[in-house]
Amino acid sequence: MQPSLRENILNAGVKVMFRSGYVGATVRDICSAAGAPHGSFTNHFRSKEQFAREVLDRYFANLQGHVREALGDKSLTPRKRLERYLEIISGVLADEKWNRGCLIGDFSLETVLQSKPLHQRLEAIFKEWRAPFALCIAEAQAIGEIDSTFDPTDLAEFLLSSWEGAILRMKVERGPAPLERFRKIIFQTVFKEQK
């Protein structure tokens, strides 16, 4: 079965918004990349804002697959699962030649002053994204693998916020050094293995 124009537009939208950002991505650019007439966009989406939310949700659903792959692997210790997640995402970013970051981070920088609905959706995404990390960290703390000084939710927030910052630096440097530096430091300090 051939994908619908709606699917083509959404798939093209992810690529165009990664390249041009929310503000820079025009409906014309998105339709051109999708090979769809302009009218198809307005047939399927009420607004660019609603379209961007669907693009963001699609991106987040894909990211959640990576979270499940890493944090759901019970053959690894909780601490190793956290490391595995960063390895998986580093691999995805390497496949993109360090040119593409995280759409959640990109939208966070760009849309919070532009769109209240997107701002609210990003807030919800961060809470949902953080939850499995907090559970994994709590599990690591319960078995003495990670220090219990800090609340697991705060540590999950710290991990994801710092990781997003490392991804921004990676985009500037166009290379893996910021990600590697982050991984090395965080697992030798905040998430260091307890003896």
Q: Which CATH class is domain 1-45?
A: mainly alpha
Residue 78: per-residue pLDDT: 97
50, 119 Cβ separation under 8 angstroms: no
**Integer distance in angstroms from the first to the last C-alpha of the chain?**
56
pTM (two decimals): 0.91
Rounded CA-CA distance 84/61 in Å is: 18
Q: For tokens 């090979």, what's the residue?
A: 35
- Give the start-to-end residue ranges of the domains of the chain: 1-45, 48-186
- The CATH number of the structural domain formed by 48-186 is 1.10.357.10
| pLDDT of 195 over the 70 cut | no
SS3 36: coil
Q: For 108-128, how does the pLDDT look when each residue is reduced to its tens digit (9 = 90+)?
A: 988 878 889 999 999 999 999
Q: What percent of the chain has pLDDT over 70?
A: 98
1-45 shares its CATH topology with 48-186 = no
Give the mean pLDDT of the chain. Answer: 93
